[in-house]
Amino acid sequence: MVKNKKRVTPPGNKVYIIDDAKSPFVVTEAFRKIATNIGFAIPKKEDNRAKVFCITSAVAGEGKTTISVNLALSMVRSGLRVALVDCDLRNPSIKRSLVHSQLRKGVESYLSGQASLEEIIYRDKSGLDVVAALLPAPNPMSLLHSEAFDHLIGQLSYLYEMVIVDTPPLGIVSDASIIGPRTDGVVIVTRQMYSDHKLLKGVVGQLEFAKCNILGFILNGFALPKEGFGKYGKYGKYGKYGYGEAKRE
């Protein structure tokens, strides 16, 4: 895999979690529209199982995990039963935004046969169910290739209407190309003035080679015209690998 190059996050941007009272309307509405479009992009299934999709990016720092969280929260607001699954078994990060100390076991425990599904689901105050990874796994590839992972996605697809799987950046590790074919599609997050075009093209190639259904792209950190949106011309500030580090009170 190509080593991630150091990039500078554009100054003045903010992280928003959309159930926060400080989140501006333009951000909340943007995620509502994206969530709606993703829902239309995945056909309804005859057996009423959940629509399952995963989210990846080329490199760390593009805002993938915070976007995963916000899409999940937006879908919950629309009345859907939603599960958000953290499948970054190398560097879990969703727990920093949503999961509190009472959760003792995570995805890695379930996949290694040390926990039941009920033990790894955390109900957020918004009504979102989070299946978080808590600790880095020593063998993430073998866990993702396992029958236990297929069983996890299968179980969740019968319990929810929408399942969102957050994965590591595909330009760094190949996990998303393993997970993607077992879902209904992949959404790629890219960041204005940050993402590398060649790396992004490589990510698309990897997903196509793995026969993944690419649902589309999300351009993050886009500078909106200030005339229309005032001080909310930009949003989305993310850290190093460990990307969605926004926390809620």
Give per-residue pLDDT as tens, 96-121.
776 555 678 899 999 999 999 999 99
Q: Are residues 193 and 204 in contact, defined by beta-carbon separation less than 8 angstroms?
A: no
pLDDT at position 185:
97
Check residues 231 and 88 and name the one with the higher pLDDT. 88
For residue 113, what is the DSSP state? T
Residue 43 CB contacts under 8 Å (≥ 6 apart), including other chains: none
CA distances from 95 to 2, 84, 144, 240 (A): 27, 11, 19, 16
Spell out where 14-111 has E strands: 51-57, 82-86
What are phi and psi for residue 107, nearest 5 degrees?
-55, -40
Domain segments of the chain as ranges: 25-229
Tell me the pLDDT band of 214, cut-offs 50, 70 and 90. very high
Question: In which residue are the tokens 């990307």 written?
Answer: 243
Q: And the tokens for 122?
A: 């955390």
What are phi and psi for residue 8, nearest 5 degrees?
-105, 125
Q: Is the pLDDT of residue 4 over 80?
A: no
Residue 225 CB contacts under 8 Å (≥ 6 apart), including other chains: 233
Give per-residue pLDDT as tens, 67-80.
999 999 999 999 99
Q: Are residues 207 and 180 in contact, defined by beta-carbon separation less than 8 angstroms?
A: yes
Which parts of 99-146 fold into alpha helices (H)?
Answer: 107-111, 117-120, 140-144
Please report which helix (H) or strand (E) contains residue 53, including its range. strand 51-57
What percent of the chain has a predicted confidence (pLDDT) above 70?
A: 78
Class of domain 25-229: alpha beta
